[in-house]
Amino acid sequence: MSNNTSRPGSLSKRLNRVKTYLSKPQNAILLALGIMLTITTVFPMITILRDTVLIHPGSKDAVGTALESSFDFGSEKLTSYNWTNLFTGTITTRVGRTRVTRSVADVYLWTPLLNSVLISIFACFGSILYGGIFAYLVTRTNLKCKKYLSSIFIFPYIMPQWTLAVVWQNLFNSNVVTGGSNGLLANMFGITMPQWWCEGIFPVSVVLAIHYAPFAYILIGGIFRNMDANLEEAATILNSPRWKTFLRVTLPLIKPAILSTILLVFSSAMGSYPIPHYLKLNTLSTQYVAMKGDRIGQASILAVIMMLFGFIILIINQRTTSGRKNFTTVTGKSGQTSVVNLRAWKYILSVILILTTLATGILPIVLFAIETFLPNPGDYSFLTNASSLTSKWWLTSENITESGMYGNKGILYNQQIWNAFAGTLFVAICCALVAGTIGTLVGYCVSKNRRSKWAAYVNNMAFLPYLMPSLAVGVAFFVVGSNMGLYDTFLLLILAGTVKYIPFASRSALNSMMQLSGELEEAAIILDIPWWKRMTQIIIPIQKTSIISGYLLPFMTCLRELTLFMLLCGQGRIITTMLDYFDEMGLYAFSSGINLILIVSILIFNYFVNKLTGASLDSGIGGGKK
């Protein structure tokens, strides 16, 4: 720095360079976005890390610190107790009459961690298999009813996560095996499913796989649709057997889509709270919720571990997507795609798929609807006696404590429910607006600076929250929010939602902006058209649908988000936490009613946005449309 003075021109030269750099709006915006995203993404992470060494009054660490050492850090007292106790401590539990001593790590860490990893792996595997096969059938064969199938196939993703978990319970639970009321199968046919089928790793994995299969379908299907059919035909002509063509040509071509799916599904599955919660599996997220009462610091360690997985996935992804084999499979010239003739199988497979999609897409809605007319939860007596159905859960307009309403008004008259619904709408709209705008800007600026390291950094920062399990992000904002006195405010919800959903918008914007030739804007620059005019009159009109998709996906996801928000507010603030509350209370008719309202409104929103603007969840997730 000292020789700056000896070369007087150098400082002003540097200043000039900075000025030139910033005179391009995309650079200035990129700089601002980079700083902002660093704060919103990194700050909460650091806060969690810090939380693991804080002493929480009334928590185990407060007691434990008295025994172990603590150290002063500035004005604060910090402790390593949470870490040492979690990894090396022991606890004594009572099993029947005998007292058993076990290590803390076994109980609170290794078991849930193993479960989390297993369900994430199974979810990836299952969703890729199911979604991939479905994508193949829809895009490359002469399957029947493709249109219907492809639109209903994504229902499970549009619907709240727990929907299928609840349906699973309603179908398979039985008093003998799981306790509680009998499910539909036990009720109607007297069939009782075994324990492993009803609860634990198996159902959680299946439900997660079905929930995320639309990702795989949209991403893999996008490649299948645009894949140059000649690549496979060239192999066929060279006498390659079908399986070999598939293994050596097709599979490598869809590998990027498979990797993207893993990227998206793994951490989403890991961070899912409601599904393991309903289906009674001990995972990191359910364990976190169980521990946040008296082991807050250690719970934060679980959140840190979840975040680590996010980082690992990000690094693996970068490793695999850079390299010599990196290629685009989508050619501008799309040859005629030859369609595989399934012969008789086309009917068999169509029927099978129609039945499964009905079960995963339509059945939940029907079951929820029925549930709201049952006199008591699980009381299916209407099957023999139609008059036992009741509309009290909807229509009761006064405060009555009898007939199982516990003083709640019917759903249609229940101010609490509608307030929460309005709250959800408000949060969703705000999140969508902010996340959509920022994401679009990130997509635009990054596409304008393709080679710049800073742009790549901003892009990664914008994407990172996606790879962070929802619960971990929720925890981070919970810690930040409690420290800043924002707990249970809309502001905190919107903040968390925005950060978590920017990736949706930035991905979809980046995907489409990358396809936009820079010359379009350069033509306008030469005519000296100002930046805002170029944006509003050229870029935005051209990219209208993909930009709207960037707003749509955060909106939809926000409507049905529970995991991210449940730690951040009281139960009456938004509809999903309200639903959780009724569920805990055992008022299943109410929770089913809310589920029904949510699902139906999401489907209606989706339908109209799609019809009016052509935007779709597909393009938001990143699947190519023809």
Could you tell me which of 574, 566, 269 has the C-alpha nearest to residue 417? Answer: 574
Q: Which stretch binds another protein (CB under 8 A): 68-76, 88-96, 232-240, 387-395?
A: 232-240
Q: Which stretch binds another protein (CB under 8 A): 66-74, 153-161, 177-185, 235-243?
A: 235-243
> Looking at beta carbons only, is 243 or 532 nearer to another protein?
243
Which among 21-29, 242-250, 297-305, 585-593 is the span making contact with another protein, rule CB under 8 A?
Answer: 242-250
Q: Burial, 194: exposed, middle or buried (Cβ in 10 Å; 0-12, 13-18, 19+)?
A: exposed
SS3 93: strand
Question: Which position among 1, 67, 95, 238 is part of the footprint of another protein (CB under 8 A)?
Answer: 238
CB of 231 to another protein, least distance (A): 5
Rule CB under 8 A: is residue 241 a binding residue for another protein? yes
Alpha carbon distances (Å) from 461 to 179, 366, 549, 592: 46, 41, 21, 38
Question: Are the C-beta atoms of 548 and 512 separated by less than 8 Å?
Answer: no
Of 300, 616, 267, 625, nearest in space to 463 by CA: 267
Question: Site mask, another protein, residues 282-321, x = CB under 8 A?
Answer: ----------------------------------------
In angstroms and rounded to an integer, the radius of gyration of the C-alpha atoms of the chain is: 27
Q: Of 19-27, 234-242, 274-282, 286-294, which segment contacts another protein by CB under 8 A?
A: 234-242
C-beta of 94 vs 333, nearer to another protein:
333
Q: What are phi and psi of 428, to 5 degrees?
A: -65, -45
3-state secondary structure of 328: coil
338 or 391: whose CB is closer to another protein? Answer: 338
Query: Binding of another protein at residue 324 (CB under 8 A)?
Result: yes
Q: Which stretch binds another protein (CB under 8 A): 322-330, 434-442, 444-452, 598-606?
A: 322-330
Helical segments of 468-587, H only:
470-484, 490-514, 518-526, 531-534, 540-542, 544-559, 575-585
Q: How far is the CB of 335 from another protein (least distance, A)?
A: 7
Q: Which helix (H) or strand (E) holds 603?
A: helix 588-613
Q: In the complex, what is the shortest distance from the CB of residue 247 to another protein, in angstroms, rounded to a whole number?
A: 11
- Tell which one of 1, 95, 237, 527 touches another protein (CB under 8 A): 237
Query: 329 or 419: whose CB is closer to another protein?
Result: 329
Distances 532 to 497, 499, 523 between C-alpha atoms, Å? 27, 25, 15
Does position 141 interact with another protein (CB under 8 A)? The reply is: no
* Binding flag, residue 331, another protein (CB under 8 A): yes
> Helix 415-448 to helix 490-514 angle, to the nearest 10 degrees?
40
Tokens standing for residue 373: 């007319």
> Is 53 within 8 Å of 297 (Cβ atoms)?
yes
Q: Which of 74/323 has CB closer to another protein?
A: 323
The yes or no reply on residue 240 touching another protein (CB under 8 A) is yes
Identify the bridge partners of residue 54 per DSSP, sorted by sequence position: 78
| CB closer to another protein, 233 vs 488 | 233
Q: What is the largest CA-CA distance in the chain?
A: 97
Of 89-97, 302-310, 334-342, 443-451, the window that binds another protein (rule: CB under 8 A) is: 334-342
Q: How far is the CB of 344 from another protein (least distance, A)?
A: 17
Q: Which of 180, 194, 293, 335 binds another protein (CB under 8 A)?
A: 335
User: Which listed range, 252-260, 418-426, 428-436, 471-479, lies at the site for another protein (CB under 8 A)?
Assistant: 252-260
- We find the least distance from the C-beta atom of residue 232 to another protein, in angstroms, to be 9
Instruction: By CB under 8 A, tell whether 231 contacts another protein.
Output: yes
Q: Which residues contact 75 (CB under 8 A, 6 or more apart)?
A: none
Q: Which of 97, 325, 451, 453 binds another protein (CB under 8 A)?
A: 325
Q: How far apart are CA 359 and CA 455, in angstroms?
A: 44
Q: Which is nearer to another protein, 196 or 327 (CB)?
A: 327
Q: Is 376 in the site for another protein (CB under 8 A)?
A: no
Q: How near is the Cβ of 618 to another protein at its closest, in Å?
A: 24
- The 3-class SS string of 365-401 reads HHHHHHHCCCCCCCCCHHHCCHHHCCCHHHHCCCCCC
Q: Which helix (H) or strand (E) holds 209?
A: helix 201-226
Of 236, 397, 399, 536, the residue at the interface with another protein (CB under 8 A) is 236
Task: Please state, in angstroms and rounded to a whole number, the distance separating the CA atoms of residues 25 and 123.
Answer: 42
Task: Give the 3-state secondary structure of residue 92.
Answer: strand
Strand-pairing partners, residue 76, are 73
Phi, psi of 112 (to 5 degrees): -60, -35
Residue 357 CA to its chain's centroid (Å): 21
- Decide whether 17 or 242 has the Cβ nearer to another protein: 242
Whether the Cβ atoms of residue 477 and residue 470 lie closer than 8 Å to each other: no
Closest by Cα among 248, 258, 249 to 221: 258
Contact window for another protein (CB under 8 A) among 231-239, 364-372, 451-459, 610-618 = 231-239
Site string for another protein, 336-375 (x = CB under 8 A): x-x-------------------------------------
Contact 222, 88 (CB under 8 A): no
Torsion 555-559-564-565 (CA) sign: positive
Q: Is 233 in the site for another protein (CB under 8 A)?
A: yes
Does 333 participate in binding another protein (rule CB under 8 A)?
A: yes
239 makes contact with another protein (CB under 8 A)? yes
CB atoms within 10 A of CB 173: 24
Nearer to another protein, 77 or 248 (CB): 248
If binding is defined by CB under 8 A, does position 322 make contact with another protein? no
Q: Does 98 bind another protein (CB under 8 A)?
A: no
Q: Which of 49, 253, 524, 538 binds another protein (CB under 8 A)?
A: 253
Residue 142 CB, nearest distance to another protein (Å)?
12
- # chain residues binding another protein, by CB under 8 A: 29
10 Å CB burial of residue 381 (0-12, 13-18, 19+) is middle
Q: Is 228 in the site for another protein (CB under 8 A)?
A: yes
Would you count residue 142 as binding another protein (CB under 8 A)? Answer: no
For another protein, which is the closer residue by CB, 229 or 354?
229
Give whichever of 67 and 238 is closer to another protein, judged by the CB atom. 238
Binding site for another protein (CB under 8 A): 228, 230-231, 233-241, 244, 248-249, 252-253, 255, 324-329, 331, 333, 335-336, 338
